[in-house]
């Protein structure tokens, strides 16, 4: 079972209830979820996309052209 939570001092607040009674002993395998990890999940594998640099360059050119018209 995977349940996410937030660390508060020595306590972990779970994002959802387990439905287990208070005092139940548990064993944890903890993994830190950084903001970067959240971002990577949100954008998928785009950083590994071979067309990424071409797309960013095209966006930069379009942005520059739009600024020149103003």
Kindly report the pTM of this predicted structure: 0.45
Q: pLDDT tens for residues 9-47?
A: 999 999 999 999 999 999 999 888 777 777 777 777 666
pLDDT of residue 20: 94
How large is the average pLDDT for residues 42-55? Answer: 76
Q: Quick one: three-class SS letters along the chain?
A: CCCCEEEECCEEEECCCCCCCCCCCCCCCCCCCCHHHHHHHHHCCHHHCCCHHHHHHHHHHHHHHHHHHC
Q: What band does 48 get if pLDDT is binned at 50, 70 and 90?
A: confident
Q: pLDDT tens for residues 56-67?
A: 889 899 998 888
């Amino acid at each position: 079972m995977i349940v996410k939570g937030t660390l508060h001092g020595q306590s972990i607040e779970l994002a959802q209830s387990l439905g287990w009674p208070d005092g139940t002993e548990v064993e944890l395998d903890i993994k830190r979820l950084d903001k970067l990890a959240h971002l990577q999940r949100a954008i998928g594998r785009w950083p590994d996309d071979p067309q990424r640099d071409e797309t960013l360059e095209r966006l930069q050119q379009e942005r520059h052209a739009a600024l020149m018209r103003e």
